[in-house]
């Protein structure tokens, strides 16, 4: 039974009043509706949005109290959103936009937390009407679509054989095989035979390795050996076609064996990486699984991570994936999923190596255009194009792509976050905060979105709030290194210099001494009075093989920390001659405040901002 509290707002006031609270015995009464409202307002789905809670409570209470005739855009704008008497709904769409978002959020609530509620409250179409509905008990459950299982590559990993009669070597070989199975099994669409079954088969003297793999239902086999060579252990590993018995790939390494926690796991992870970067593996059923892995990783979170640098092995894997996809798209150019996967991979590669943009951006645009031809891939393809354009400072293309993405999917979290980053880059801080606030409401548990919000707050000089959000981002995902860097940034600007130094030192140890990390560490070191250390980092950058633009920007930061503005301007001028990654933030970052009044800075800013629109002033932004 449905009860329409208000009715369509186009009705006249008398009609609305007549329809406000129909007298039906089986309709939910006012007390039941208030109880349902309380459940909604206390839910996780509405926990992050004060505006949504206020709007829903206002519409429901006004209806229950018999003020249906007051539910007009003008009145709602004044009573709920604090607008003045000069509000004109023909110009400002805030009420309609927030009502649309409220409908969508209620829908998500009843698909998840509120699935078992006895009453459902929603807004009717084309109106601000509050509609309450009793739900039959037998339908109150949370349902999921049955997943469609796709074909998977099947691999058997046999225990690595100890060549010498050495108990510790046998342990190492078995442990490496176990950890390798675990690491490989985490790759989507790769099925790894149970380790216990593999051990039983390997122990049989009458069954060869290929027969064992076939009995285990695997088409591919991994086997290896370990033996001592002086103070080190030599590891040999090979990938074998279980049908033909032919070796497809082999890898050898000398290990300085350390009896430390994590050594075996990290070695196994490195072996999986070597397998993924090898050309022969890309000629097997593993290739499609590898592409799926990269497609899942090449999202906004991955693109944000690459500013910290990327290992050569990761670049090799991306190159293999790009080549594999391009070869297949030559035969099936209409495959939108493959076009989207290639778009994401190209975007990720460009953000790692901005100098590749001259060659890859045209290919990226073609793939993104092909992805937009299918509704299921259009938004994500445009977001990838927008992010890649942002990283090479093509802000006009970024603005166009992200605007199109949001016109297709106004509540796409990735598109909102990407546009927030664009607004941050060009100095539109209020707009950046608005976008990130909406993204956090949609995805409050995303480390990438929460970390981006912390970055925006740093640039708004709201350092204490930035520290809190950066801590939250680290708590949501401790492996998301940009959040670690942002936390160090926020701590420094909040006056916690030694804590910031400690975190940056740890970051360079874990993620490597990339130009990005060295620039951050050098700036904070210089500002902390450690000028000699900062100059040592400048010398280290001279030998860096990182992207030249990032090296130049790292020099800019360190020279600013040392107070050498002339050297900073020289490095900045050099960086702007290159396809530069968006660690710039010239329009808003606080480290550039000491040189903002210098005429040279205005000239460089004009060069950078060409085509990006007028940067806003850093006025006090709206709250997150």
Q: Which residues contact 560 (CB under 8 A, 6 or more apart)?
A: 523, 568, 591, 592, 594, 595
Q: Which residues contact 547 (CB under 8 A, 6 or more apart)?
A: 352, 353, 354, 355, 515, 581
Residue 545 pLDDT exceeds 60: yes
Instruction: Give the pLDDT score at 3.
Output: 39
Residue 302 pLDDT exceeds 60: no
Tokens of 595: 């040189």
Instruction: Give the pLDDT score at 118.
Output: 87
Cα separation, 506 vs 542, whole angstroms: 22
Instruction: Give the pLDDT score at 47.
Output: 65
Report residue 102's pLDDT band, with 50, 70 and 90 as the boundaries: confident
Say which residue the tokens 């190492």 belong to. 172
What is the distance in angstroms between the CA of the first residue and the CA of the last residue of the chain?
A: 39
Q: In percent, how much of the chain has pLDDT > 90?
A: 21
Instruction: Give the pLDDT score at 14.
Output: 37
Instruction: Give the pLDDT score at 185.
Output: 82
For residues 397 and 428, is the Cβ–Cβ distance under 8 A? no
Instruction: Give the pLDDT score at 404.
Output: 92
Say which residue the tokens 């107070």 belong to. 563
Residue 327 pLDDT exceeds 50: yes
Instruction: Give the pLDDT score at 17.
Output: 38
- Mean pLDDT on 331-341: 86
> For the chain, how many residues are written?
624
DSSP label at residue 335: -
Strand pairing class (232-241; 130-134):
unpaired
Residue 1 pLDDT exceeds 60: no
Cα separation, 350 vs 393, whole angstroms: 12
- The more confident residue out of 624 and 290 is 290
Instruction: Give the pLDDT score at 137.
Output: 67
CA angle 586, 573, 599 (to 5 degrees): 65
For residues 422 and 403, is the Cβ–Cβ distance under 8 A? no
Report residue 44's pLDDT band, with 50, 70 and 90 as the boundaries: low
With CA atoms as reference, report the closest residue to 345 among 328, 376, 324, 369: 324
- The more confident residue out of 10 and 100 is 100
pTM as predicted = 0.61
435-470 residue pLDDT tens: 999 998 888 888 888 988 999 999 999 999 999 999
Tokens of 548: 């030249």
For residues 248 and 273, is the Cβ–Cβ distance under 8 A? no
Compute and round to an integer the Cα radius of gyration of the chain: 29
Tokens of 544: 């860096």
- The more confident residue out of 356 and 158 is 158
Say which residue the tokens 């790009």 belong to. 322
Report residue 202's pLDDT band, with 50, 70 and 90 as the boundaries: confident
Instruction: Give the pLDDT score at 149.
Output: 41
Q: Which of 105-114, 171-180, 277-286 has the highest mean pLDDT?
A: 171-180
Region for residue 391 given its phi and psi (left: phi exceeds 0; alpha: psi -120 to 50; beta: otherwise): alpha
Q: Name beta bridge partners: 234.
A: 227, 254
170-189 residue pLDDT tens: 888 888 999 999 888 877 77
Instruction: Give the pLDDT score at 496.
Output: 94
Instruction: Give the pLDDT score at 355.
Output: 67
Give one DSSP letter per residue of 148-185, joined into a string. PPPP-EEEEEPPPEESSS-HHHHHHHHHHHHHHHHHHH
Report residue 260's pLDDT band, with 50, 70 and 90 as the boundaries: low
Cα separation, 74 vs 65, whole angstroms: 19
125-139 residue pLDDT tens: 667 778 788 887 655
With CA atoms as reference, report the closest residue to 178 among 205, 163, 206, 197: 197
Report residue 205's pLDDT band, with 50, 70 and 90 as the boundaries: low
Tokens of 350: 């460009």
- The more confident residue out of 373 and 579 is 373
For residues 415 and 402, is the Cβ–Cβ distance under 8 A? yes
Cα-flanking dihedrals φ and ψ of residue 232, to 5°? Answer: -115, 170
Q: Which residues contact 447 (CB under 8 A, 6 or more apart)?
A: 301, 473, 474, 476, 477, 480, 483
Instruction: Give the pLDDT score at 436.
Output: 92
DSSP label at residue 138: G
**Secondary element (H or E) of residue 241:** strand 232-241
In 3-state terms, the chain is what percent helix, strand and coil (to 5)? 60, 10, 30
Residue 339 pLDDT exceeds 60: yes
Report residue 305's pLDDT band, with 50, 70 and 90 as the boundaries: low
With CA atoms as reference, report the closest residue to 314 among 325, 326, 300, 302: 302
CA angle 230, 234, 239 (to 5 degrees): 170
Instruction: Give the pLDDT score at 492.
Output: 94
Pseudo-torsion of CA 424, 430, 435, 441, nearest 10°?
130
Tokens of 230: 């002086």
For residues 42 and 60, is the Cβ–Cβ distance under 8 A? no
Tokens of 404: 């199109």
405-433 residue pLDDT tens: 999 989 888 899 989 989 988 889 999 99
On the CB side of 21, CA atoms within 13 Å amount to: 14
Sign of the Cα torsion 558, 564, 565, 571 reads: negative
Helix axes 429-442, 413-425, angle to 10 degrees: 160
Residue 25 pLDDT exceeds 70: no
**What is the CB neighbour count within 10 angstroms for residue 107?**
12
Instruction: Give the pLDDT score at 142.
Output: 44
Instruction: Give the pLDDT score at 145.
Output: 41
Q: Name beta bridge partners: 154.
A: 191
Cα separation, 368 vs 361, whole angstroms: 10
Instruction: Give the pLDDT score at 306.
Output: 47
Residue 216 pLDDT exceeds 60: yes
Residue 528 pLDDT exceeds 90: yes
Helix, strand, or coil here: 197? helix
Tokens of 511: 């993620």
359-370 residue pLDDT tens: 888 888 888 888
CA angle 537, 459, 528 (to 5 degrees): 35
Instruction: Give the pLDDT score at 514.
Output: 81
Say which residue the tokens 């799926």 belong to. 292
With CA atoms as reference, report the closest residue to 241 among 328, 325, 153: 153
- The more confident residue out of 69 and 436 is 436
């Amino acid at each position: 039974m449905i009860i329409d509290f208000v009715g369509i707002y186009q009705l006249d006031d008398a009609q609305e009043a007549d329809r406000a609270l129909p007298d039906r015995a089986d309709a939910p009464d006012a007390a039941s509706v208030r109880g349902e409202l309380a459940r909604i307002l206390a839910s996780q789905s509405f926990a992050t949005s004060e505006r949504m809670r206020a709007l829903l409570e206002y519409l429901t209470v006004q209806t229950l109290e018999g003020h249906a005739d007051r539910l007009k855009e003008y009145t709602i704008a004044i009573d709920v959103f604090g607008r003045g008497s000069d509000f004109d709904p023909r110009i400002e769409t805030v009420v309609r936009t927030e009502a649309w978002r409220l409908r969508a959020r209620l829908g998500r609530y009843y698909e998840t937390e509120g699935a078992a509620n006895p009453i459902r409250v929603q807004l009717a179409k084309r109106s601000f009407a509050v509609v309450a509905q009793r739900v039959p008990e037998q339908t109150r459950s949370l349902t999921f679509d049955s997943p469609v299982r796709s074909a998977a590559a099947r691999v058997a990993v046999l225990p690595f054989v100890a060549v010498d009669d050495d108990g510790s070597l046998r342990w190492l070989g078995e442990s490496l095989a176990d950890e390798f199975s675990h690491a490989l099994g985490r790759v989507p669409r790769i099925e790894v035979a149970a380790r216990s079954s593999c051990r039983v088969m390997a122990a049989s003297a009458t069954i060869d390795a290929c027969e064992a793999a076939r009995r285990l239902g695997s088409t591919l086999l991994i086997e290896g050996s370990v033996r001592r060579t002086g103070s080190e252990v030599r590891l040999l590993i090979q990938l074998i076609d279980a049908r033909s018995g032919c070796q497809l790939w082999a890898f050898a390494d000398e290990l300085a064996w350390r009896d430390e926690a994590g050594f075996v796991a990290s070695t196994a992870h490195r072996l999986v990486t070597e397998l993924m970067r090898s050309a022969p593996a890309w000629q097997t059923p593993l290739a499609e699984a590898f592409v799926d892995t990269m497609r899942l990783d090449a999202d906004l979170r991955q693109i944000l991570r690459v500013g910290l640098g990327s290992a050569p092995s990761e670049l090799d894997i991306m190159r293999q994936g790009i080549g594999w996809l391009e070869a297949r798209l030559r035969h099936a150019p209409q495959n939108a999923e493959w076009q989207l996967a290639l778009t994401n991979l190209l975007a990720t590669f460009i953000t790692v190596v901005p100098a590749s943009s001259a060659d890859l951006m045209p290919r990226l645009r073609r793939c993104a255009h092909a992805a937009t031809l299918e509704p299921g891939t259009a938004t994500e393809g445009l977001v990838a194009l927008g992010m890649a354009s942002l990283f090479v400072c093509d802000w006009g293309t970024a603005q166009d792509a992200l605007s199109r993405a949001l016109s297709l999917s106004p509540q796409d979290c990735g598109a909102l976050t990407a546009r927030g980053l664009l607004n941050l880059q060009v100095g539109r801080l209020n707009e950046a905060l608005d976008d990130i606030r909406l993204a956090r409401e949609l995805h409050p548990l995303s480390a990438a979105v929460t970390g981006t919000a912390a970055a925006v707050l740093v640039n708004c000089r709201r350092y204490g709030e930035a520290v809190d959000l950066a801590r939250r981002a680290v708590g949501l995902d401790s492996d998301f290194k940009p959040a670690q860097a942002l936390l160090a940034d926020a701590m420094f600007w909040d006056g916690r210099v030694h804590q910031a130094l400690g975190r940056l030192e740890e970051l360079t140890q874990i993620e490597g001494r990339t130009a990005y990390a060295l620039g951050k560490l050098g700036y904070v070191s210089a500002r902390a009075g450690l000028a000699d250390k900062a100059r040592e980092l400048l010398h280290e950058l001279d030998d860096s093989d990182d992207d030249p633009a990032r090296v130049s920007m790292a020099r800019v930061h360190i020279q600013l920390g040392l107070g050498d503005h002339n050297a900073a301007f020289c490095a900045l001028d050099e960086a702007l001659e290159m396809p530069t990654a968006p660690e710039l933030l010239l329009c808003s970052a606080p480290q550039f405040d000491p040189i903002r009044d210098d005429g040279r800075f205005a000239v460089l800013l004009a060069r950078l901002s060409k085509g990006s629109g007028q940067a806003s002033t850093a006025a006090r932004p709206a709250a997150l």
